[in-house]
Every structure is written in structure tokens, then in C-alpha cells.
Structure 1
Amino acid sequence: MDHLERIVKIANSLSFEEIPYNVIDATKKDILDTLGCILAGVNAEGTNELLQIISDWGGKKESTILYHGIKVPAPYATLVNSTMAHARDFDDTLDQAALHAGVSIIPAALAAAERAGECDGKLFLKSVTLGLDFLCRLGKATKIGATEIGLVYTSTFAYFASALTAGLILKLNDEQLINAIGITMSQVAGTVQAVSDAALTKRIQPAFGAQAGVTAAILAKQGITGARNVFNGKFSFPKVYLNDHFDYDLLIDSYGENFESENLSFKPYPCCRFTHPAIDAALQLREETNMNPEDIVEISVDVTTQANVVCEPVERRKKPQVVVDAQFSIPYTVAVALVKGKVFVEDFTEAAIADHRILNIANKVTTRYDNSLAGRGISPAIVTIVTKDGNVHQRRVDHPLGSIENSMSIEEIVDKFKKCSKLTPNEIPERNIQEVINRLGELEKENNITEIINLFTLNKSNSLV
């Protein structure tokens, strides 16, 4: 039995009751966090343009674009919802592999559930849990860094894992599910160049994967076949895309028993996870020393080369030209932390990135590479600040806030969700937000999870389109 066949057989046969409670709780936490990220991204640059395109295309009214309440074909709804989820760079992270999971899996699951007509809470939770786990396993099994190979793994692995999730919700049999995942292999993509060029497609790449996964599940259910030997063939995914830097055993080790989704981290700051250790260190130094940013002479930040995407090109990291530059900048985010004492969504707008107070401090930041700090994954950071009085202040952070070792509590995730819900152009009623929180907490009791989707929808008179 090859790897994909084994994964599919276990995924289809596994019951909700066989998944440990703590794993289900982790999935619920991820769902709540991702839904909050979707609301935060409703008005982000690029999302309204995409929404207008999809609205113009129209089509079968089967799945909901959250907040707006527009119903479109399931793949289209997935595309927009996933883009909104990732637009603020506020979504979950598997720190060990530097990728996001919920941003593709949860929008795909929501759209597939509405297409199916009904999906109870147990099936939804099982499907999302296995999708998150599959995506994370792909990340951990890959033994070459994203910037070394040039692929954004959040996007690349989203194709396979979203197909699994959507296929489970649409109740594909084993053969159909193998085909669905094989179909996505004909579409797999995701490039680091979009990050380097600060392109808006950086926000959309995971959504392309999620959309493709839903489309593949629909195609497979209608009898379309795909490549079978996705992981074990002569021209398999690991061989063609990863130069065979892949741990095949790790992909299936204890599959269906241990769930990598438990290891997902959550973001307290809406920017690339590689900036978070430095932000934490800067915030700690600011609080401990009560330093005046105007007294800072120089700042150095030591990280591994895995973090080069938030260090280079130096000119754009110190003086962001567009918001995506700022989201991927250690100099900018450290400067925000030191000047304002916090880092949140309002710090990533066209107006915010032109703030001279921030840019003056960002210009004093020098990033340096020290590969003795750690291996692959989110790099630790050592922040050193020299002030006018000659004092040197230093802080090292190995595990940023939100990581498994330094986790955010469910109360902190709920607070983040509530703050994100207030970022929409027209606020969703507070009673709806609280009901979502309550019902997600007992999601396994829902007869049809699509009822929860309605709580995210504005009245038609308030819709933006």
C-alpha cells in the first residue's frame, strides 16, 4: 500500500470519536482564529477587487462569501474567503515548517459543507482536523527550506490538504479521494518570488490551493481521474518539486493516531511569523528599560538565514514601499514595537508605513545572520539596542508568543477574534459574534454547521456589493 492510499483509507475510516478531545479542542481554536482573520481581512487591499471579479462572474449560488453574504460556486467562495483569511498575515503557523494551515483548510471546508447541503459538526471537525494534520505533515516531512527551493509551502501543500478536507465533507469514497488529491498535483504552485516582489498574489496564493482542492473534489466525485502515485511515483511530488528532500516515513508515521495540528501556533501580530521573535524581544526591552525611542543609537537583530525574507532587500525592509513590504520586515516591525509598544492591524496601512517616527527607528536596525542559532523553522532572534548613554540592552527570544512553548490561551484567541470582528466596514452585531464563539465551543453538537455561517453575514442592505 503506497503512502497516499494509506492516508486516504485511514482518513475515510476514522471516526470522530477516535480523535482525542485535546486535538478537537485545538481544531476548534484554529477555526475561531481563522474566522477572525477572515473578518480582519474583509477590507484589506486586494480583497474587494477579488470580490468584485467573483461577483461579476456569478454562477450557482451554493457557498457563502463570509461577511458579504454573497453566494457563488463553492470554488469561488473558497478563493475569496481564503484570501481574506491570509490578507493580514494574522493566521496560524506551524513554526517547525514555517507554513500556515487553517487559511486554506477552513475556507475549503466551509464552502464544501454548503455545497453538500448539510454537514454536521462532527464531520466538519473531523475533516478540518485531518486536513490541518495532512498539511502540517507535508511541511514537517519536507527537508528543505522554502527560500532554498523557492516554494511557499503554505500554498504548495494547500492543494493536497484542501482536496482531502473537501473530499471528506463531500463523502468521496477511497478511489475518488485518491483521484481528488491526484488532480491537484496537476495544479500545484506557490512562489517565494511573490513575497520578494511584495505582490498582492502573496495574499492569494494559499487561496489558489484551497480553491483547487475544492474543485478537485468536485471533479473526482464526477469521475475525473488524477495521478495516483503522488508520493511514490517516478515523477512524484517530492521528486519533482522538492528534489526528493522528503521524509516519506514522517508523512505517514502514526497517521490517524497523532495529529500535527496540535502543534500549530497562533499569531499575536499581523505580520510574517519570522518577525515575531524580534518583536517580542523589542517589546520586552521597551517594557523593562522604559527607553525613549529617540535615545536609540543603533539596533541589531541576529537571526538565521531562514529569516532572510524579512531582512532583504534591505532598502525595502527599512523603508517599506507597500504594505506587504512592511508585513515582511524586521526593521519596520521592531520599530513599531519600540515606538508604540504594540503591533496590530492599524500599523499595516499605506498611511502607517509612511510614519516618520517609525521609519527613523527602522533605519537604525541592522539584521545579521547567525546560523548557530537554530536550524529550519522560525528563527530565534537576538535584539541588541545601544542607547545614547552608552548602555547596551539585549534580549533573546527562542519561542515567540503564540508558539506551543509560549502559547496563547483560548481567552487570548477569543479576544483576538473579537478585535478582528471590529475591523469590518460595518460591524457584525456583538450578539452574533458571541453566539459564534459559544457555538464553536460545542461545534460537535451542531446538526448543520452552515447555520453558523449565517451569523457572519450582513443584512443584504448593508452588503458592500
Structure 2
Amino acid sequence: MKNESPTHPSGVANMTMAVAHKPTTDVSDVLEFVVGLTWQQVPPEVRRRLGMLCLDASVAARAGTPLHSARIITDYVAATMRGDEATCLLDGRRVSAPGAALANGTVMNAVDYDDGHSLAKGHPGAVIIPAALAMAESTGASHEEFLLAIVIGYEVGLRAAIAQHDRWPLFHSSGTWGAVGAAAASARLLKLAPEQVDAAIGLAEYHAPVDLIMRAVAEPTMAKDAMGWGAHVGATSAQLAAAGFTAHRSEFVADRLRSVVADLGRRWQLMDTYVKPFPCCRWVHPTLAGAEQILRRLGRERLDAAEVTRVQVRTFQAAADLARMVPSTSEEAQFNLIWPLAAYLTTGGFGLESITRDLGDPAIARTAGLVEIVVDPDLEAGFPAVRRSSLTVTLADGRTVESGLCSAAGNADDPHWESVVRNKFPTIADERWFVFDAEPLPAETRDLVAVDPMCALTYPLEMRHHNTP
């Protein structure tokens, strides 16, 4: 993956990410990888990033619980997908494993705070982790088995995404390819044989949601990125395959000799994930980094609405296609370019209150009305691997302030990547997350969940004191 920008929004030079790692296994087949990968074959740096991604997923789920969509989906699942296999993160109710995957995937993406991957053009965590958690709980899997299943889900799902974008001309949701990753993770936890894994992935690809994401971001609703449904399809597909239900071989598995699959177990796509400092579409984040630069250069915490006479954003087409209304719902604020930018300039930041409490704020709305969006051909040419934007603000006193080209914080090569996660979780001291041991917690996933539905995510790896040898 290319380095997104020579300059981090904070002014710190980005470090080029080493995306190829020392080979640990020479797996070249998807089915063999799902069945055969061991925890010992997962490099320490991948384990560490996995731990931070699990923590980040717990933050996203906690942030999503107050939203109306989280209550609707969890009530629906509790009424129609009853069972005692797995736990709803919203309130601890017990339901079937596919039901929990549906509810928890929706909750984890209710606020657009979850992780992503640039070349996948979407979000793996909120599809794969809920399916793995539900299946791990239902099967009595160990915490190590749970974490290993997530790694498998990410590696398979992200490659399915890259292959899908090459194969299909239209841009579909994360739930479309995420269902394949969720099926792979679920199949591993069910200990399926290769031919059953083949069926599970085939079923998931066949029945996955195929919603068009550009319509979803232009007309935001609770449907969003189909995370919950992708998780549900993945979990259901694995259970059906375990029962003997067959399917056509997926195009992804059938095309297994492509380079995107040939490096399974040698190059870790999980290491190319990004995390989000702001609860909105990732395509907006470079612009928010520009707003941060503008305020820093002015030496101001925020700008009064009356001070600003013009705001110009130069960006790529996908960002320009986001909604531009004054939002009346949280979803309209999350999939929006002008509202997050105006909120940042006017209030000095963009947080959870910006997509809930501040909806329709007149001062923010005035600044939003001044925003002009220009698609820059050079910035468009770099998308999706490189996502950059620039911002120019004209003030009432005649001054013009430029941000320069900015990329988002939390990219895979950002040296402050882990801090982005920690800063989203202020109730947990930094020291607790400073050092990860290589081994998972010695516990069963369902026992951890019985203590706290998010415990398996909040404590992803066993941690030891700095002085421990």
C-alpha cells in the first residue's frame, strides 16, 4: 500500500509501512488457510494490532448503543431470532448466534467509528468480529480460538473485498464482501472440514447483501453499510454448511491462484487497517485534518460563524458524493462532508455530540452553507489507496488560510495509530494498553462474555507489567 501523504495532519512525517512480513507458512489456498492456520503462525506484530482492533471494536459498539437503530435491531432480533447461543451487546439479552451477529454488527456500525481498509474500500471489523464473537460464544471456544478466527476472517474478507472490487464495476457495501470473511471466521470456530468451508464461503458470497454503497452515502439511512446483515449471512452460512447444506463454489475461492490470495499467511492485510478518530465516513477525515491545520495556523480553538465568508474543499470524487444536507438524523451527519467540516471549524472538533446533540445547530448550518467542494483530478487519481484533501478558508477580514494537502490520522502507516484508539477510550488508562503479551487470556469466550458482553474485546490479549521478564 502506498504511503498516503508525506505529512501527517499533526506535522509529523509519516513512516512507510512494511506491508510484507517474514513468511510463517506457505499457504496458497483459501480453504487450507481457514482450516490450518495456527496461533503460533500469527506474527507478534499482527497479534498486537489485532488486540488494538478488538479494543477499537468495543469502542465502536459502546458508541453505537445509544442510537435508535441499535435498539430497533436488538429488539427485533430478540423477538424473532430467539435462542441461548450468544449475547446481544446492547443489553445482554440471549439470542441465536446468527441473531447476535446481526444485532451486534448493526450496533458496532451504528456510529461510523469502526476500523477500515483503504483497498477494501470498507470496514472489516464490524462484520467479522460480531460473527466471530457470536460463534465463539455458542461453541464454547477459547479466547485464543476466537482471536485466531478474527485473524482468518480479516485475511479472507479483505482479500475477497479487493477481488470483488476488481470483478464488479459497481461499489457495493462492506457487508457484501464482509459476509465472506464472517463465514470464514465462523467456519473455523465450528471446526468445519475444507469441503464444508468451501460451502460456507460459497453460501455467504451467494446470499450476501449487494446494496450499492454510493446510494447509501448520498441518501443516508439506518441501513448504512449492511454490516449486521453481512455478519448474519456469514454466521448462518457456516451453520448451514456444518449441517450439510451445499453451495456453488464462490468466485473468490475459485479464483484462488490470483496474487491477492496466493500470499495468504505471508502478507497480512490486517496490518493495513486504519482506525478512526472521528465518528463519520472515512472519506471526510482528510478534510477534518485540514480543519485542524487551519485552526492551528490561526492559533484558534474554533471560529465564530460570522468570521468565515468562504470554505473550499479540494478532494476526491467519493468524498464529494457524500450527503450535503443539514442533518436531522445521526446517519445524515455521519455520511456528510459539509456538516462534519462546519462542526469542526465552528466548535473546534467533531465527536459523538456532533452526530447526536448538535443536529441542525444554526451556527454550524451557517458555516456549512459556505462550503464549496471541488473534485481535484490528481486527488481522484490516487483513490482509494491514497486519500487526501486540502482546505482553504477565507475570513471576513480578508485573510485566506490554506491547510495544504492532508491525510487522515490513524492510517496504517501512522506512527500514532495506537494513540488514535486510546484517545477514543478515555476511561481506560494508557498504561493498561501499553504492553500486550503474545498470549490471549486463558479463558473460554462464553465465560468472558458472561462477565461482560464486551469483555472478550476489551481485554483482547493478556497484559503484563512492564517489568515482567
State the TM bucket, normalised to the shorter chain: 0.7 to 0.9
Query: Is the aligned partner of 1:221 residue 2:242?
Result: yes
Residues 279 and 334 in structure 2, CA contact (< 8 A), matched pair in contact too? yes
CA shift at 1:31, angstroms?
A: 0.8
Alignment deviations for residues 274-300 of structure 1 (CA, whole Å, 9 cap, x no partner): 000000110121122035332111000
Q: Who is 2:97 aligned against?
A: 74
Structure 1 Cα separation of the partners of residues 296 and 358 of structure 2: 23
Taking a change above 3 Å as real, the CA distance of residues 435 and 179 of structure 1, as seen in their structure-2 partners, is farther
Deviation at residue 334 of structure 1 after TM alignment: 0.8
CA apart distance, 1:110: 0.5
Deviations 1:248-275 (A, max 9, x none): 6232131111110111000000000000
Matched, 1:372 2:411: no
Deviates more, 1:266-275 or 1:380-389: 380-389
Measure how far apart 1:20 and its partner are. 0.6
Would you say 1:451 and 2:460 are equivalent positions? no
| Secondary structure class of the residue paired with 1:186 | helix
8 A Cα contact 1:141 1:250, kept in partner: no
Structure-2 residue corresponding to 1:138: 160
| Partner Cα separation in structure 2 for residue 145 and residue 396 of structure 1 | 35
The letter for the 1-side match of 2:187 is G
| Aligned match of 1:258 | 267
Report Cα offsets for 1:336-380 as digits up to 9, x if no partner: 11111111111102x412101101111110111112124231631
* SS of residue paired to 2:116: coil
Match of 2:409 among 397, 401, 404: 401
Q: Which amino acid aligns with 2:227?
A: P
Letter aligned with residue 20 of structure 1: P
> In structure 2, what is the Cα distance between the partners aligned to 1:41 and 1:301?
29
- 2:172 is matched with which residue? 151
Task: Give deviations 1:181-225, integer Å, cap 9, x for gaps.
Answer: 11112212232223322121115x111011010001111111111
Find the counterpart in structure 1 of residue 319 from structure 2: 307
Aligned partners of 1:141 and 1:248 also within 8 Å: no
What is the CA–CA distance in structure 2 between the aligned matches of 1:84 and 1:455, rounded to whole Å?
Answer: 20
Matched, 1:181 2:181: no
State the distance in 2 between where 1:388 and 1:434 align.
Answer: 42
> Quick one: distance in 2 between partners of 1:364 and 1:212?
43
Q: In the alignment, is the contact (CA less than 8 A) between 2:138 and 2:446 conserved in 1? A: no
How many residue pairs align between the two structures? 421
The DSSP-based 3-state class of the residue aligned with 2:251 is coil
Shift of 1:389: 2.1
Which residue matches 1:127?
Answer: 149
Which residue of structure 1 lines up, in the alignment, with residue 353 of structure 2?
346
Task: Determine which of 56, 74, 79 is the counterpart of 2:79.
Answer: 56
The runs of 5 or more residues in structure 2 that have no matched partner are 1-26, 455-469
Q: 1:201 to 1:443 in 2, by over 3 A?
A: farther
Counterpart amino acid of residue 308 in structure 2:
I
What's the secondary structure of 1:149's corresponding residue? coil
1:166 and 2:172 aligned? no
Contact 2:81 2:99 in 1 (8 A): no
How big is the shift at 1:145?
11
Q: Structure 2 matches for 1:258-407, cutoff 5 A? A: 258-290=267-299, 292-293=303-304, 294-310=306-322, 312=323, 317-349=324-356, 351-373=357-379, 374-377=381-384, 379-407=387-415
Contact kept in structure 2, 1:145 and 1:376, CA below 8 Å: no
Give the letter aligned to residue 401 of structure 2.
H
How far does the alpha carbon of each residue in 1:139-179 deviate from its partner, in whole angstroms, 9 at most, with x for none?
33445599x61412x11111111000000011111111011
Farther-moved stretch of structure 1 (131-140 vs 278-287): 131-140
Distance 1:6 1:145, change over 3 A: closer
Q: Is this contact kept in 1: 2:312–2:373, CA < 8 A? A: yes
1:120 is displaced (CA, Å) by 1.7
Give the secondary structure class of the aligned counterpart of 2:404: strand
Shift in alpha-carbon separation, 1:150–1:142, aligned structure 2, 3 A: closer
- Could you tell me how far apart the structure 2 residues matched to 1:308 and 1:282 are? 16
Report the alpha carbon displacement of residue 44 of structure 1 after superposing the two structures with TM.
Answer: 0.9
**Cα distance in 1, alignment partners of residues 275 and 447 from structure 2:** 26
Give the partner amino acid of 2:72: E
Contact 1:78–1:111 (Cα < 8 Å) also in 2 = yes
Deviation of 1:449 (Å): 2.3
1:58 Cα offset (Å): 5.1
How far has the Cα of 1:119 moved from its partner?
Answer: 1.4
Q: Which amino acid counterpart does residue 416 of structure 1 have in structure 2?
A: K
Q: Which moved more, 1:259-268 or 1:120-129?
A: 120-129
Matched, 1:210 2:227: no
* Preserved contact between residue 36 and residue 418 of structure 1 (Cα < 8 Å): no
Q: Which amino acid letter does the alignment assign opposite residue 447 of structure 2?
A: E
Please say if residues 30 and 253 of structure 2, whose CA atoms lie closer than 8 Å, have aligned partners that are also in contact: no
* In structure 1, C-alpha distance between the alignment counterparts of 2:437 and 2:111, rounded to whole Å: 25
Shift of 1:434: 10
The one-letter amino acid paired with 1:86 is: N
Give the TM-score normalised by structure 1.
Answer: 0.84
Task: Give the structure-2-normalised TM-score.
Answer: 0.83
Preserved contact between residue 32 and residue 437 of structure 1 (Cα < 8 Å): no
Counterpart of 2:68 (choices 45, 55, 73) is 45
Deviation at 1:230? 2.6
Identity of aligned residues (%): 24
Q: Alpha carbons of 1:440 and 1:448: their partners in 2 closer, same or farther (altered >3 Å)?
A: farther
Inter-partner Cα distance in structure 2 for 1:453 and 1:412: 26
Q: Contact between 1:298 and 1:364, CA under 8 Å: does it hold in 2?
A: yes
CA contact (8 A) 1:61 1:73 kept: yes
Bigger helix share = 1
Cα shift at 1:414:
3.1
CA contact (8 A) 1:319 1:359 kept: yes
